[in-house]
Amino acid sequence: MTSSEHMSNHWWWRPGWSAGRRFYTWHLVFDGQSDVHRFADQYRTALVGADGLDLIPDRWLHLTMQGVNFVDEVDEADVDLIVEAARARLAAVPAFDLTLSAPVLDPEAVLVPVHPQDPVRTVRAALRAAIGDVLPEVPEKAEGFRPHVSLAYSNSDGPADVISEALALASVEPATARIESAELIVLHRDNRMYEWEPYARVTLGKPGT
């Protein structure tokens, strides 16, 4: 596990964001994934005494994939076309397994890199292509993508040593996640957590679903 020496508040308002604003984005989510939930719960227990963290409950665990746009800046008809384009493209991408193991301490979060990364990148490339099928420009950069699942977000500025020590002392078996779909969600961050409503679910490797 690598570590950061200093934590920074994750919840500063990034450009375009404000209370009440909603955003269309693609995520991989972990509903019903008991092994992932076991893994996350053991790390939440290990981190419960570390100040300055917002621990992520099972329902909001996710792997961020690809944003589309703010709800008030894109036509819903175009969003539906993107979903249909994603169905066509992801029909050729088979379901796959991911492994979650040792966390990495980032200045703003406790992250778990996932392995293998190639199938995740393949799904993201298909989603970006689906957006490009409909919109004149695909948001966010293709490069620099780091597939990971966050376990906690930093809510303040301060030293990271207590968090590093808690992670080092934790003994948690890796988890396996089965990825069978990509989810288009309507996301907000009003409550110092990434929360969402589902919009569309696209199954991997199955035409027309």
Q: Residue 150, exposed/middle/buried by CB under 10 A (0-12, 13-18, 19+)? A: buried
Residues 31-85: tens digit of each pLDDT: 999 999 999 999 999 999 888 999 999 999 999 999 999 999 999 999 999 999 9
CATH of domain 6-10+26-203: 3.90.1140.10
Percent of the chain with pLDDT over 90: 93
Q: Give pTM, 2 decimals.
A: 0.93
Q: Residue 184, exposed/middle/buried by CB under 10 A (0-12, 13-18, 19+)? A: buried
Residues of the chain with pLDDT under 70: 1-4, 208-209
Sign of CA dihedral 39, 41, 45, 49: positive
Query: Could you tell me how far CA 31 lies from the centroid of its own chain?
Result: 13
Tokens 């990271």: give the residue.
160
